[in-house]
Structure 1
Amino acid sequence: MPVATTPLHRRAPGRSPVRPGGARRFVHRLLTLVAAVAVGAGTLTAPAYAEPSVDEIEAAIDKQWEQLEPTIEQYNKVRAQMKVNKKKSGELEKKIEPLTLETELAMNRVGDLASRYYMSGPSQDLGALLVSTTPGTLAEQLTMLDRLAAEERRQLEGVLAVRAKFDSQKLKLDTLITAQEKQTKELAAKKTQINSEIKRLQASMPKTTVSVAGCPTIEGVVNAAARTAIRTACAQVGDPYVWGATGPNSFDCSGLTQFAYRAAGISLTHFTGAQWNEGRAIPRSEARPGDLVFFFSDLHHVGLYLGNDQMVHAPRAGKPVQVASINHMPVAGFRRPG
C-alpha cells in the first residue's frame, strides 16, 4: 500500500522567505555559538554560516509551539468545564423555579399559623422558628417542634423541608455561578496570553506555500465509526489551524478529532486530556486507522491515526490540517473512541 510522505514546505514562486523575528535570531545565535566553540577549541578562523533556511526557521517555531500548545489545551479544558457547568446551572434553575413557588406557599401557611396565635401570642419556640432566617440543625428544629401541637408540627415540618430543599439547590447554583465567573476570568487571561504568543510567532513565520498531501488509501480500519471519522478528517485537509476552533472550516488539534468523531456519532470533549480518558487504551503494536494518537507527556497534542505511522492532524498556527508522520513528536499513546 502506498504511504503518504510528510509534506515539505516550499517557497512561493518568485518570492523570498521573510526572515525577521525571534525564530531566525534563535537559529542564528545557535550557529554563532557553535562557531565560537570551534574558535575556542583552536580553530584559527570561524567558518562563515549562511542565513538559517526556511526549514530551520520552521523547526525553531515548532519548538516554541510545543511550549504554547499546552496553554491552548488548558484553555480548551476550562472552556469545556464551563460548558458543563452552564448546563448544570440551567438544570438547577429549572429545579428551583417550582421550589420558589412552593416555598412562598409554605411561608403563607406559616403566616396563617402565626395569625392564629396573634390574640394569645405565639410560644417562644414558635416565634424562634418563624423569625429565624438561619434555623439551626435539624435536631434543634425537631426539639422545638416537639413542643408544638401536632397540627402545627405537621405544617412547620413541611415548611422546613421545602425551605431546606430550596436552600440546597440554591447553594449548588450559587457555587456553580461563582466557578463560572472565575473560569470566565481565566479564559480571558489565557486568551490574551495565547493571542500575544501567536502574534509573536507569526512575525517569525516565513512566507511560504505549504504543499498538503491528502489521506492515503486506508486499510484495516477498526470499525464503521472510525471510517467515517477518517473520511471526515481527511476532507478537512488544507483547512487552516485556528486555536480554539472546532470546525467546520478551521480547527485546532482536539477540535479536529472532536469534529471527525462527531460525524460518526461519537461525542468527544474539546480537550486532549479528556479525549485521552474517553477512549480505550490501545498498545502501539495494535493501533489501527481511526485510533487517536497522543503526543508529549502532558498529552497536549492529538491526531487521527491512519496507519503506517501516518496521521491527519491540525499542527499549529501557520500550518493547515495535513497528513504527517507520527514520528516527528514523542508518542504518548493510542486511544480507541467508542
Structure 2
Amino acid sequence: MVSHRRSTQPGVSRSVRVTVLSAAAATAAAALGGATANAEPQDTPRTAGARVDRLFTEAEQATEHYNKAGENVVRLRGEVRRAQDRAARGQERINRMRTEIGSAAREQYRAGGIDPSLALLLSSDPDSYLDSAATLNRVDTRRATTLAGLRKAQQALAQTHAEAARSLAGLERNRAAVSRHKRTVERKLHQARELLKKLPGSERDAFERASRTGRDDGAGGPVAGLPAGSARAAAAVMAVQRALGLPYVWGANGPSGFDCSGLMQWAYAQAGVSLPRTSQAQRYAGRMVPLAQARPGDLVAYRADASHIGMYVGNGQVIHAPYPGAPVRYDPVGMMPVSSVTRV
C-alpha cells in the first residue's frame, strides 16, 4: 500500500479524503508516464513522493497477483495429486479385471481351447469387441457385463489422465506467473527505494512524515460501546491489534510479517474463520455494508481494483499492513478511496 495521508475526523464518513501527496500521484503519473525510478533534476519532493507512491501502489497490485498465482499453485498441486491417486486406483481395478479374465481364459484353454468370444474379450480394443459381440451375439450376459465394466474403467482412467494433464499444465502456468509477479514486485520496490535514496535528507523526511502519519494522537481504539459485527469479528479485531508494529512483508501472511491481505487472513484465522488469500477475494467473503454502517471487524477494501485491504476497528480507524518499510498500524479509514466494506 502506499502514501498516507492526513487523518480524517473521528467517525466514519462516506466522503473520502485524498491528501496532497495522493493527488500529486495522479498528476505525476500522467505527466511522467513510464519514467524510471532515478530521481531527475526537475524532481520536487511532491513529484518524487508521488512517484514513490505510484511505485508502491503498483508493487502492491503485483503482490496481490502473486498471492493469487500462489494460491492457484497450491490448489492445482492438490488437483494433480488427487488425479494421480484416482489414476492409480483405476489402473489397479483394470489390472484386477484383466487378471480375472485371463484366469477364465486359462481354464478354457486347459479344457480344450479358448472360446472365440473370450479371445476377443482379451483384445486391446474392447470397444470394437462390444460392437462385434452385439452383432455376432457370441458373448453371454456375464461376459458382456465384465467387458462393459472394463470399458467403463478404461474410459474413466483416460478421463483422469486428461484431467491430470490439464492440472499439470495449469500448475506450470501459475508457477511461471508466480515468478513473473515476484520479479515485478521486486523491481517496483527497488525503484522506489532508489528514488527515496536520491532525495535529500530533509525532503525524504518530509515524505516519510506525509506518508506515514499513522493515527491521530487522540484517536484511541474503537469507540466505546460500538460492538463488532459478530463474536468472530471481535476475536479478529483482538488478533489484528496484536499484530501492531510488525513489519510489512510482501507475500507474507504471518505470524511475524504480513502484506495487507495476509494480515486479514491471519487475523480471521485466529478467530477460526478461513478467508481467501487475496484482497480481491476477501471483499466477497461476507456481506457488503455501507461505509457509514461499518463496525469493528469489517474488511475495508481500497481502490477500484480492491488491491489493498484493512480492518475497521472503530473511531474512524483501520488497522492494516501499509507497504514495505511501514509496520502494521492504525490509519484513518478515509486514507484512500474505499471500494467496499465487508462484514465477515
TM-score if structure 1 supplies the norm length?
0.75
| Structure 1 counterpart SS, 2:311 | strand
Matched-pair contact (CA < 8 Å) for 1:212–1:238: no
Distance verdict in 2 for CA 1:141–1:321, change over 3 Å: farther
Matched-pair contact (CA < 8 Å) for 2:220–2:315: no
**Cα deviation, residue 114, structure 1:** 5.3
Query: Alignment partner for residue 217 of structure 1, among 217, 221, 225?
Result: 221
**Cα deviation, residue 188, structure 1:** 1.2
Equivalent position of 1:29 in the other structure: 42
Matched-pair contact (CA < 8 Å) for 2:120–2:129: no
| Structure 2 counterpart SS, 1:277 | coil
Equivalent position of 2:138 in the other structure: 148
The CA deviation string for residues 1-22 of structure 1, in whole angstroms up to 9 with x for no partner, is: x959xxxxxxxxxxxxxxxx96
Greater shift in the superposed pair: 303-312 or 115-124: 115-124
Letter in 2 for 1:224: A
Equivalent position of 1:104 in the other structure: 95
Matches within 5 A, 1:143-182: 143-146=131-134, 147-150=137-140, 151-182=142-173
Letter in 1 for 2:250: W
| Equivalenced residues, count | 294
Equivalent position of 2:67 in the other structure: 76
The CA deviation string for residues 158-214 of structure 1, in whole angstroms up to 9 with x for no partner, is: 221222222222322222122111111111122122112211112223665767559
The CA deviation string for residues 274-318 of structure 1, in whole angstroms up to 9 with x for no partner, is: 112211111222211110001111111111012343111111112
Query: Alignment partner for residue 188 of structure 1, among 174, 179, 185?
Result: 179
Percentage identity across paired residues of the two chains: 25
> Distance between the aligned counterparts of 2:109 and 2:161, measured in 1?
32
| Structure 2 counterpart SS, 1:312 | strand
| Structure 2 counterpart SS, 1:266 | coil
State the structure with bigger RCO (CA 8 A, min sep 6), 1 or 2: 2
Equivalent position of 2:295 in the other structure: 288
Matches within 5 A, 1:121-132: 123=116, 127=120, 130-132=123-125
Greater shift in the superposed pair: 57-66 or 291-300: 57-66
Matched-pair contact (CA < 8 Å) for 1:24–1:57: no
Unaligned stretches of 5+ residues in structure 2: 1-8, 12-34, 198-203
**Cα deviation, residue 143, structure 1:** 2.8
Letter in 2 for 1:238: G
**Cα deviation, residue 226, structure 1:** 1.2
Query: Alignment partner for residue 267 of structure 2, among 260, 264, 283?
Result: 260
Equivalent position of 2:85 in the other structure: 94
> Distance between the aligned counterparts of 2:164 and 2:90, measured in 1?
13
**Cα deviation, residue 98, structure 1:** 2.8
Distance verdict in 2 for CA 1:3–1:283, change over 3 Å: closer
> Distance between the aligned counterparts of 1:141 and 1:198, measured in 2?
65
1:333 maps onto 2:337 in alignment: no
Matches within 5 A, 1:30-49: none
TM-score if structure 2 supplies the norm length?
0.74
Equivalent position of 1:229 in the other structure: 236
| Structure 2 counterpart SS, 1:204 | helix
Query: Alignment partner for residue 274 of structure 1, among 281, 286, 293?
Result: 281
CA RMSD of aligned residues (A): 3.2
> Distance between the aligned counterparts of 1:263 and 1:200, measured in 2?
35
Matches within 5 A, 1:53-64: 57-64=48-55
Letter in 1 for 2:171: Q
**Cα deviation, residue 120, structure 1:** 5.7
> Distance between the aligned counterparts of 2:121 and 2:155, measured in 1?
17
The CA deviation string for residues 305-337 of structure 1, in whole angstroms up to 9 with x for no partner, is: 123431111111122211111222111011111
Greater shift in the superposed pair: 211-220 or 172-181: 211-220
| Structure 1 counterpart SS, 2:196 | coil
> Distance between the aligned counterparts of 1:141 and 1:186, measured in 2?
47
